[in-house]
Amino acid sequence: MKTKWILSFASAALVLLFGLTFFSFGDVRSLSIINVGVVMAIVLGLKYHRMKRRPALDERNIKVARAAIGYSWFFSYLAVAILILLDYMDLFRLSAIHALSIVLFMMASVQMISYFILDRKGDIS
């Protein structure tokens, strides 16, 4: 197991231990921290299991991933500009948490969609 995976599982264990420590003092709010630790461990376990069977990354996959991330950042800047304009013209009011949620969700979605499209397209230049 590579160092990256060991550190990832250790961080999940630390989050879980942190939540359990506060829960032992009777703080019920720490259940969300415990949930985060459990979800981290489950997601990391599934990802590790899936990545074991996957071939190593080649130059094309890296190039496609970088292009997808570039598109994701471009559309994120565009979304921020649109949200600023909507707020400036008093057409739409959002709190900071809602605006950040929209931008982060859109950023991840665009990255996954553009990776899928570019991967199917073939060679990118």
Residues spanned by the domain of 108: 59-121
pLDDT of 21 higher than 80: yes
Residues 6+ apart with CB under 8 A from 87: 93, 94
Question: Looking at per-residue confidence, does 65 or 52 come out higher?
Answer: 65
| pLDDT score recorded for residue 55 | 67
**From CA 37, how far away is CA 49, in angstroms rounded?**
18
Longest dimension (CA), the chain: 58
pLDDT of 52 higher than 80: no
Question: For the chain, how many structural domains are there in total?
Answer: 2
pLDDT tens sequence across 63-107: 988 999 999 999 999 999 999 999 899 888 888 899 899 999 999
| pLDDT score recorded for residue 125 | 65
Determine the Cα angle at 94 with ends 92 and 98, to 5°: 135
Which of the listed residues 52, 69, 85 is the one where a domain comes to its end?
52
Burial label, 72 (beta-carbon count in 10 A; 0-12, 13-18, 19+): buried
Are 66 and 30 within one domain?
A: no
Are 117 and 64 within one domain?
A: yes
**From CA 37, how far away is CA 18, in angstroms rounded?**
9
Are 45 and 66 within one domain?
A: no
Are 23 and 67 within one domain?
A: no
| pLDDT score recorded for residue 1 | 63
pLDDT of 111 higher than 90: yes
Are 67 and 113 within one domain?
A: yes
Question: Looking at per-residue confidence, does 24 or 52 come out higher?
Answer: 24
Expressed in percent and rounded to 5, the helix, strand and coil fractions of the chain are 80, 0, 20
Are 20 and 36 within one domain?
A: yes
| pLDDT score recorded for residue 62 | 86
Write down the pTM of the prediction.
0.60
Are 65 and 34 within one domain?
A: no
Q: By three-state DSSP, how is residue 56 classified? A: coil
